[in-house]
Every structure is written in C-alpha cells, then in structure tokens.
Amino acid sequence: MANPWAGEVEVFLDGERHVAKLTLGALAELEAALEGGSMLDLVRRFEGGAFSSRDVLALVVAGLRGGGWRGTAADLRTVEIGGGPVGAARIAAELLARAFTVPQGGGS
C-alpha cells in the first residue's frame, strides 16, 4: 500500500502495483515536460477541471519515475492503467495534492 504521508500514490500498470510520488527530481522532469508552463499553471488547470490528457500523462509518468519506475511516456501508450483514463486523472490529481499539501498532524 502507498504511504500518503510520504506523498505516495498507488498505480496499477497491467495489473502490477507501482508506487508513484513527486520527488524534487520528478517535479523538475515534469516542468521540462510542460514546455514552458509552470507548476502553478498545472495546479490551476486541475483545480479548474481544465486539465488535458497530456497533463495527466506527464504527471503519471513523473510520479512513477519519482517512485523508481524506469519507463517513459511512450511505455504507457500500450499499458492498461488501473481505472482507465478516469483512474489516471485521479492518480494525477492525488499526486499533485500530496506533493503540495502538508498532511494534517504531520509535524513541523
């Protein structure tokens, strides 16, 4: 099970469990994938429900890579993500929320 206190989100690729999290390195990789857009722009798109499938894919890839996965966005084109496109969007939103929210009672 993923540890939400550590910013982790559980992802199933072709039925195999993976842990995703947005580490600093993963966030830097994500910013590069956004091609000029900022993290704040990305957060605003998710908050407003105006995100794209490209946003979702970039977030899922960055989170998986932050969790130690060695794949690329191209690898996800032929993989079944648990929950399908809606599940992928949920995973992306959870990654963002957990990366930028201090858990309640989580310390200093």
Phi-psi region of 105 (alpha: psi -120 to 50; beta: other; left: phi over 0): left
pLDDT tens per residue, range 34-83: 876 788 888 889 999 999 999 999 999 999 999 999 999 999 989 999 99
Domain extent, residue 87, equals: 12-99
Residues across the chain: 108
Q: What are phi and psi of 37, to 5 degrees?
A: -75, 155
In a domain, residue 44? The reply is yes
User: 104 lies in a domain?
Assistant: no
- Do 57 and 69 meet the contact criterion of CB atoms below 8 Å apart? no
Q: Which helix (H) or strand (E) holds 29?
A: helix 24-33
Q: How confident is the model at residue 6, as a pLDDT?
A: 86
- pLDDT at residue 4, as a whole number: 83
Q: Flag whether 107 is in a domain.
A: no
Tell me the whole-structure pTM to 2 decimals: 0.88
Domain count, the chain: 1
Specify if 60 maps to a domain.
Answer: yes
